[in-house]
Amino acid sequence: MSILEALPGYAGRGSPERESEVLLSLVASGLSSLSGWWGQVDRRRPYDDRLQLGLDRLAVACARQGLEAPVGVADLVWSWCAERPMREWPLVLDPDAQADGELLLIDGAPSEFCREWARATRDLVADVHESALVNHVKDVARALGRPELYAHWRMLLTERAVLSAAEMIRQRNRFLDVPSWARWLDESYEPVPCEGTVNGRIAVCPRCHQWMTPAGGQGWLCPSWRCAVHRFGSVPDLREAEGAFRLRADLVGYIALPGRSELLLAKPLAARGARVVVSPGYDALDAIATWPDGFAIGVDVKDWRNPFLLARKIKRFPEWSGDHPYAYDKGYIAVPEDRTRGRQDYLRILRKHSTALQGQPHVQAITIEDLIKQCPDLGTPGEVTCGP
């Protein structure tokens, strides 16, 4: 057996497992990359060529199992992706992938399962995290020797998805000694468009605090899949739209929403007396929490629905120790508890398929809630900060 074959979750090229993953990733990527997706309103929009590649592979898989294949991309999208759960596809997936009852499209839009399976040479996440804006913020912060600037920018985007005209002016003038700061905000926010308002108002989700879009006569639609089951049940926070700015949609999905889970950890740890630095080392981790006696933990928060896919995304923790300002005693991959609710094997799957966790036994996978309970509680508040 080769070294590669000994790694967890390895399946060789040409194996049914590898071919099934390639097929699923092609279709998921094609669906997720559709620009301006309008669901069932407009079925004639140009489609990503990865859908055709996925269709070709699916036709072969169906032929091998004596199944009727979809007839064209439209049939693939609207009959298979929207109506047929994964258990009915001719795929061979690791049981830990937990794909059986999943759909790739829900309500005409790529599901969370679909988005997590999506891959590309430059996928949606990479397009954001490697964009000129994100890199520029980091580069300027490094050049100035002020890592807190990047953390302040991320925290603002996470906590304030909508800014009034007056608030935008105040935020732009927040760091007058850093001319780039105002430009970062100009590129991060956009004027609220007319189609995003109802009766001159814009709505903010009471759960994730991101801007919502009008959903016809059914209220407002939240951009977060985490809020999907409550999207018409919660009363939104309505604000005056005239002159207001909202966070750009790509930054909502890949900066602000993940940042919400990070703050759900950082603020309770600070309430227990820790000094919590968010985005330390230009986002090498999500948080470093240090108590007055010197005990410190390093945490990376991962808000993923599928632990099988998440395991492949986990990177090795930075080995900060000694006199390093972010030295920590213990490391944690922290997952929101509701991701594991009803799925007792979530953390087991994560450990089993993550080479990073196996290579760093001092890093533990745990739920956010359990981690908070394990940490010291001094009974006096600490602080959440962006600086070293």
DSSP characters over 15-72: SHHHHHHHHHHHHHHHHHT-TT--GGG-TTS---HHHHHHHHHHHHHHHHTTPPPPSH
**Last residue of some domain: 252, 275, 304?**
252
Say if residue 204's pLDDT is above 70. yes
Tell me the three state secondary structure of residue 375: coil
- State how far the Cα of 340 lies from the Cα of 271, in Å rounded to an integer: 24
Residue of 156 and 216 predicted with greater confidence: 156
- Sequence-distant (≥ 6) Cβ neighbours of residue 271 within 8 angstroms: 381, 382
Q: Which domain holds residue 109?
A: 3-121
Give the tens place of pLDDT for each residue, 294-325: 999 999 999 998 999 899 889 999 999 888 99
- Residue 133 identity: L
Average pLDDT over residues 109-130: 63
**Last residue of some domain: 121, 153, 182?**
121
Q: Does residue 55 sit in the same domain as residue 146?
A: no
157 class by beta-carbon count within 10 Å (0-12 exposed, 13-18 middle, 19+ buried): buried
Compute the Cα dihedral for 14, 20, 25, 27 and give only its sign: positive
Say if residue 287's pLDDT is above 90. yes
In the chain, the number of structural domains is 3
Instruction: Give the CA angle between residues 367, 333, 374 to the nearest 5°.
Output: 50
Quote the pLDDT of residue 269.
Answer: 97
- State how far the Cα of 104 lies from the Cα of 82, in Å rounded to an integer: 6
**Last residue of some domain: 97, 121, 145?**
121
Q: Does residue 248 sit in the same domain as residue 261?
A: no
Give the tens place of pLDDT for each residue, 185-200: 998 999 998 888 888 9
Beta bridge partners of residue 277, listed in sequence order:
288, 385
Quote the pLDDT of residue 8.
Answer: 46
pTM of the model: 0.72
Give the tens place of pLDDT for each residue, 324-358: 999 999 999 999 998 998 888 999 999 999 999 99
Question: Do strands 287-290 and 275-278 pair parallel, antiparallel, or not at all (unpaired)?
Answer: antiparallel
CATH of the domain at 285: 3.40.1560
Say if residue 130's pLDDT is above 60. no
Torsion angles phi and psi, residue 245, rounded to 5 = -125, 150
Give the tens place of pLDDT for each residue, 231-253: 555 688 999 999 999 998 878 87
